[in-house]
Amino acid sequence: MYWTSRGSNARVDSAAMDGSNQTTLIRNLNAPGAITIDYKEDRLYFCDGSRIYSSDLLGNNMLVFYEETKEPKVGIAVDDNYVYWGSTLKQRGIRRLSKSITNQTVSTIMEEEVSNPADIYVSTASPINTTNHGCSSFNGGCTELCLSHPDGFKCACRNNWELQKDGVTCCLSGYTAYAGACFKAYNQEKTYDQARQVCEEDGAGDLADQEIGMLALPKDKDVNNFVRDLKNAVSEISRFWIGLSDQKDEGEWRWADGTEHDTIADWNGWQLGEPNDNQGGEDCANYGGSGWNDAPCSSAYKFICQLRKAITCSLGYFRCSHGRACILSWKRCDGATDCTDGSDETGCVCQPIPGDFQIDIRLAMLPNQLGQTTFEEAQNSSVVELLNTSYSSSGNYHPELRNFVSTVIFPQCNVTEENKADCFLSPNATETISCMGNVTGTQLVPCRSWCEEVLYMAADWMKGLLPRCKLFPSSEHGCWNPNSAKKGNEVCYHGIGINYRGTWSKTTSGADCVEWSVEQAGYYKTEYPWANLDNNYCRNPTGLDRPFCLTEDGSQEDCDVIPCDADGCWDRGPPNYGKRSPGKRFYYVDDRVTYTCNEGYTLKSGYTSEARCMPGGDWQYDKPRCSVNHRRRLQGELLEIYSASLAPENVVINFTGSVEQIVDLDEKKEQLVASVAIDFTWQDSRLSWDPKYYDDVTTLNIPGDNIWTPILTLKRNAASHSLQKDVPVRVSSNGRVAWSVETQTTTVCDADPFYFPADTMECHVCFSAIAAVEQTIQCQGGGSTDKGSSPCNSYSDVTTEGEWHRNDNIFAKDNREACFVVHLKRIPLFHLATTVGPCIILVVLMIITFVMPLDRGDRISFGLTILLSMVVSLVFVTGVLPVKGGLPFFATLIIVCMGLMGVFLLLTMAVIIIHDRKGSLSPMAKIIFLRHISKILLLGDLTEKKHPRDEEADLTDFPATGLINCAFLCDGKVDVNDERPCDGNETTKQPSTPLSSLVPTRTTALLQLIPNLKGVKKEVKELAKAVDNKREVLKKVMMNEEEVSEYILLAKVLDRVLLVLYIISIAAAVPMTMYLGK
C-alpha cells in the first residue's frame, strides 16, 4: 500500500498490506495529497500542491507530470491513456492529460459543472494486472480481513473483534469461535427476553446486516457439548438460557431463529421428564446440569449468546429483520405475517414517486424486489436504464416493458379509499402527489403472467437486471396487472400472448374450447397456476407462438385471437358460393389463404385461388369470385345414368401408337421391357351432348374408371402389368372417346442366335380384346404424330438402339389384337472385336505347334493352352445367347475347331514318338515318304546320303609339298640352262640373262647363301610330311561319321503333312459348319 503524509516531514510512504515493512519512498515534499497507481506501467502518480508527480513504485525516476501555479489538486486517477484529477479553485471541475507527455502546463477540461470535487475514481473494463498471493484464493481462509506481506499473509479482524486461536476466525471480544459461529456465556442473570436483547445488541455493531446475535442454538450434539463446556467454565451449578421456547404455540418448541425443533433431526437434550410445563407457564428452555429444562420466561438465569453470519437473500427475496430467514419479496406488506419477528409487515408506507423518474404519478412502496430501500438508491442503479422510452417504442421489445420495469422498481401501493383521501396532486407545475402523514397500504408487484410475457421479448442483459419470473406472484395472491389492451372493442394480446386475459374461446378452425379444469386440460391448471386459466378462454401458458386452447377431442389448436401490434390483414370472408382455408379473423404477414368454390362452381377467369397477406395490411390479390362450373355439371349429367359395365353396341376400336423406348432387353431370357404409348378411340353415343347448352364446352376429361373402356390383355406377357383404367379419358361432344395410355410392358421375344454376332430378335407386343364383347380392333397408324407411330402393316425406318438396329411395325391381327412388332438386328462390330477376333487369333496361333522343333518338349503344352482359351470363348458365347434347339454357328465353329485342335495334338504326339525311334525304314516306306511325299511337301529327296562335310573333301587332295617354294633347286645347284626341277618334271623358267652378266660381287654373295638355304629346305620337307599324315587321319574320321536317322526324316515329313492337313481342315470347317448347322 502507498500513502502520503503532510506536515513538517511531508513524504510518500509504502508498506506491506499488513502494515509491516514501512518505507519512506519520497521526501522533501510540500503538501502531498491524492495518490494513485498506474497498474499498466507500474508507476505512482501523486499531487503535491499545484504539481502532479510521477515515479516508479520504489520512488525512483520521479518526473513532473503537470504543473499549474496556485491550483491545488484533489483526487487523482489513471487509465490506459490519461491521468484525471479535480480542481477546487478558479478552474473548478474535472481535468485530464495524456500520460505520454510530461511537464505539461495545459490540460483538457472534461466537466466544469462540478463545484467542489473531493475525489475521483475511474471505472474501466480493462483488467488490472495482479499477482497471486496468499489472499488471492478464498481470502486466504480468513473470515474477515486478509492482509498480504512479502512473506505470506495473515488474517485480521475489525475493531472490537478478536482473532481466534485458529488464526482465521474473528469473534467479538469475549466470544469463542466454534462450528462457524461465536459463543459467550454471560455471568449475569436476566429474564429470557432481557437475555435475548443483550445477545441482539452484541450483533448490532457496524456490520449489523452481516452478523446477528441470539441466544445459543445447540442443534447438534457437538454444539451442545461445546455450550455445556462453555457454561461449566463459568458456573457448573447455574442454569443458562438457550434460544429455545414455545411462547407462540404451547408444545411447539421453536429455536430462536424461527425454525421448529425437530426431535429426530435436531439434538434432543431434554432432561428426563422434560419439558413438563410444571403448573403452566414454563415456555423457555435453559441449560442446567446435564441437559435442558423448561422454566418460566420471567425467571432470571445466566445465559449464553451466539453470533453468526446473517443469511444473504438473493434477488427477489426479502430478509426478515432477525436475519435468519428470507421470504419472497411480494409477501412483504401483503397483510399476512411471514417473518417470525413480524418485520415483513412493518414499515408498509406508501410514498409518492419523485417526478425525476418521469413515470406515472402514483404511490409506491419500498423496499422493492431488487432490495432497494430508497428512491436515491433506485436512481443510482443500472436497472433505471430500462425506463428509457426507446426500449418500449423500438418494436424489438414488449411495448409494456417500461411500465413493467417501473412497477418492479416502484411497486404499486394498494391503499384504502379512506387513505386515498389523504393524498392529492400538488398544485405546482411538477404535478406530484403529496400526502398528509404516513399512508399505509399493501404492496402489489407485477403478476407473473405479465412478467413472462414482457421478458419473453427482452434481451438477456435486461433479464439479468430483474428477478426471475417464477419469483412473481399469481393473480390469486394479489399482484398488479395492467388493463388488457384492446383493438377495436375486443381484447387483443401483445408479444405471444402469455398475459392475454380476454374471453375468446374458439380456435382458428371454429371449434369450441373446453374448460381448463376438465380432465384433458387438467395438466395445465396444475403446472401453470399463474397463467390465468379461467373457464375455457384462450391462453398461452407454455410460450407458443400465440394463445391456444384444447378442444373436445383433447387436441391443442391455436385460437383466433387478434394481436395488438402485429402487422397483418383482416379477414375478407369467403367468396360467393365458396369458402376459404384457413378461416381466421386475422392473418399475419406472409400467411396464405386458399379460396375454393362449392361443388358445381369454379373460380372465374383472371382470379387466383391463393392470396398472401402483404406488409401494411394489404392482400396480394383481390378476393376471387365463383361462377357455375359447366364442365362439372356436364360430367355429372353424363354419368348420372351411365353404366360403365355396359359396352357400346358393335363398337369399333381404332388404335395407333408406338414402342417409345426399349427399357431393358434380356437376350438370355428372350424378354423385352418396353415403354409403349398407345391411343384407342371408339364411338359411344351415350357420351354425346350439345355444346350450346354447356357454355360451348366441346371436350371433357373424365376418369377412365367412370366410363366403359375396352378390357385388353397383353399377349405373351412376362409380368403382371395391365393397362391403367384411372387415367383421364377425353370425350368429345359427338361421343368420340379417346383413351391414351402409356405403360411399360414385359413380353417374350423370338430370338434367332444362329448368326451371332449378327443375330436377330423379333418381339411382339399385342393387346387382345376379350371375346365376350362384340368389338372390332382396327389399325389407324400414322394418325398420332406426337407419339411417332408408323403406318400400319409396314416397317419403319431402321434406327439404332444401343447395340441393335431396330425397325417397328404396327398392325391389327385378326381384328382382335392391336400389335406392335419390334425387329432387332445386332450390330456385330463389338463382338467381332471382342469375341470372334480373339478366337481367330487362337486358331492361327495353333500353327506354331507344327513349326516348333520336334525335340522341344513345350509343343504339347502350348497347344493345350490355346485349346483352353477356346473353351473360355465358348463359355462366354453360350452365356450371352438363349438356349435353343441348336447351337449358334459361331459356338458350333468353336467346338469344331476345338475338336480339330485336339485331334491334331494327338497326332503331333504320335509324330514326336516316331521322331525318337532308332533303326531303318523299309524300302517301300523310304520311297513313299522320304522321296515322293517329301518332294510334294517341298522337302526334296531325303533318300540321298550326304556327309556333313562333302564340300570340304577336295581340299585334302593337295599334297603339302606343293606348297614348297620352288625358287630353289632340289639339289642345291643352279642349272646351266637356268632350270630348277621341283618334284620331278616341273621346272620354272628363269630369266634369260646369263650368269656371266651378273655383277661379280652379287654372284659371290649368292653363292655364300646356298648352304643356308639347303638347311631350310630340309626342315620344310619334314613339316610337309607331318601335315600329310594329319590329313590322312582327318579324312578317315570324316568318312566314318554316323549317318542321319531315317525315323527323324520320317517325323519331319509327317509333321509337315499334319500342318497342311490342319490348315485344310480349319478352312473346310467354316462352310461345312454353316451348311450342317442350318
| Distance (Å, whole) CA 25 – CA 37 | 14
| Distance (Å, whole) CA 648 – CA 709 | 10
Do the Cβ atoms of 536 and 516 come closer than 8 Å? yes
> How far are the Cα atoms of 467, 974, 1010, 1019 from residue 1014, in angstroms, in the given order?
152, 13, 6, 9
| Distance (Å, whole) CA 530 – CA 481 | 12
What is residue 8's predicted lDDT score, i.e. its pLDDT?
86
Query: H-type helices in 215-349, by residue range?
Result: 221-234
What is residue 993's predicted lDDT score, i.e. its pLDDT?
44
Tally Cβ neighbours within 10 Å of residue 216: 28
Q: What is the CA radius of gyration of the chain?
A: 65
Pairing of strands 490-491, 23-26: unpaired
Q: Which CATH class is domain 483-564?
A: mainly beta
Sheet holding 23-26, edge to edge: 2-5, 11-14, 23-26
* Residue 64: alpha-carbon gap to chain centroid: 63
Tally Cβ neighbours within 10 Å of residue 1071: 9
What is residue 751's predicted lDDT score, i.e. its pLDDT?
87
Tally Cβ neighbours within 10 Å of residue 353: 21
- Total residue length of the chain: 1078
Residues of the chain under the 70 pLDDT cut = 69-70, 89-92, 102-115, 124-131, 205-210, 390, 392-395, 417-437, 720-722, 771-772, 782-789, 856-857, 945-1008, 1033, 1035-1044, 1078
Q: For the whole model, what pTM was predicted?
A: 0.46
The answer for residues whose C-beta is within 8 angstroms of residue 155's C-beta and 6 or more apart is: 140, 141, 142, 143, 144, 145, 146, 147, 163, 167, 168, 170
Do the Cβ atoms of 514 and 552 come closer than 8 Å? yes
| Distance (Å, whole) CA 409 – CA 397 | 19
Cell 629346305 -> residue: 1017
- Helix, coil or strand: residue 842: helix
What is residue 124's predicted lDDT score, i.e. its pLDDT?
66
Do the Cβ atoms of 328 and 302 come closer than 8 Å? no
Closest listed residue to residue 487, CA positions, set 399, 555, 372, 421: 399
Cell 467354316 -> residue: 1070
Q: What angle do CA 997, 998, 1002 make, to 5 degrees?
A: 165
The answer for residues whose C-beta is within 8 angstroms of residue 225's C-beta and 6 or more apart is: none
Q: What are phi and psi of 811, to 5 degrees?
A: -160, 165
| Distance (Å, whole) CA 868 – CA 716 | 40
What is residue 1035's predicted lDDT score, i.e. its pLDDT?
65
Closest listed residue to residue 469, CA positions, set 633, 315, 347, 665: 315
Do the Cβ atoms of 239 and 288 come closer than 8 Å? yes
What is residue 720's predicted lDDT score, i.e. its pLDDT?
67
Q: Which CATH class is domain 631-827?
A: mainly beta
What is residue 198's predicted lDDT score, i.e. its pLDDT?
93
Locate 420 and state its grid cell: 386515498
Q: What are phi and psi of 1005, to 5 degrees?
A: -65, -40
Q: Which of left, alpha, beta for 316 (phi over 0: left; psi -120 to 50: alpha)? A: left
The CATH superfamily holding the domain 2-111 is TolB, C-terminal domain (2.120.10.30)
What is residue 1032's predicted lDDT score, i.e. its pLDDT?
72
Q: Which helix (H) or strand (E) holds 491?
A: strand 490-491
What is residue 14's predicted lDDT score, i.e. its pLDDT?
92
| Distance (Å, whole) CA 97 – CA 984 | 149
Query: H-type helices in 929-999, by residue range?
Result: 934-936
Q: What angle do CA 160, 164, 166 make, to 5 degrees?
A: 155
What is residue 975's predicted lDDT score, i.e. its pLDDT?
44
What is residue 110's predicted lDDT score, i.e. its pLDDT?
66
Q: Which helix (H) or strand (E) holds 839?
A: helix 837-845
What is residue 500's predicted lDDT score, i.e. its pLDDT?
95
Do the Cβ atoms of 397 and 388 come closer than 8 Å? no
> How far are the Cα atoms of 172, 678, 744, 793, 818 from residue 807, in angstroms, in the given order?
116, 17, 19, 12, 17
Q: Strands (DSSP E) along 635-709, which ranges?
A: 651-666, 671-688, 699-703
Tally Cβ neighbours within 10 Å of residue 753: 25
What's the longest Cα–Cα distance across the chain?
202
The CATH superfamily holding the domain 187-309 is Mannose-Binding Protein A, subunit A (3.10.100.10)
Q: What separation, in Å, do the N-terminal and C-terminal C-alpha atoms of the chain show?
A: 121
Q: Which CATH class is domain 568-628?
A: mainly beta
Q: What angle do CA 576, 577, 580 make, to 5 degrees?
A: 75
pLDDT tens for residues 158-197?
888 899 988 888 999 999 999 888 999 999 999 999 999 9
Do the Cβ atoms of 245 and 285 come closer than 8 Å? yes
Closest listed residue to residue 620, CA positions, set 643, 641, 592: 592
Pairing of strands 651-666, 775-779: parallel
| Distance (Å, whole) CA 436 – CA 418 | 12
Q: What is the 3-state secondary structure (H, E, C) of 865-932?
A: HHHHHHHHHHHHHHHHCCCCCCCCHHHHHHHHHHHHHHHHHHHHHHHHHHHCCCCCCCHHHHHHHHHH
Provide the b/e sequence for 768-784 (b: ≥16 CB within 10 Å): bbeeeeebebebbbebb
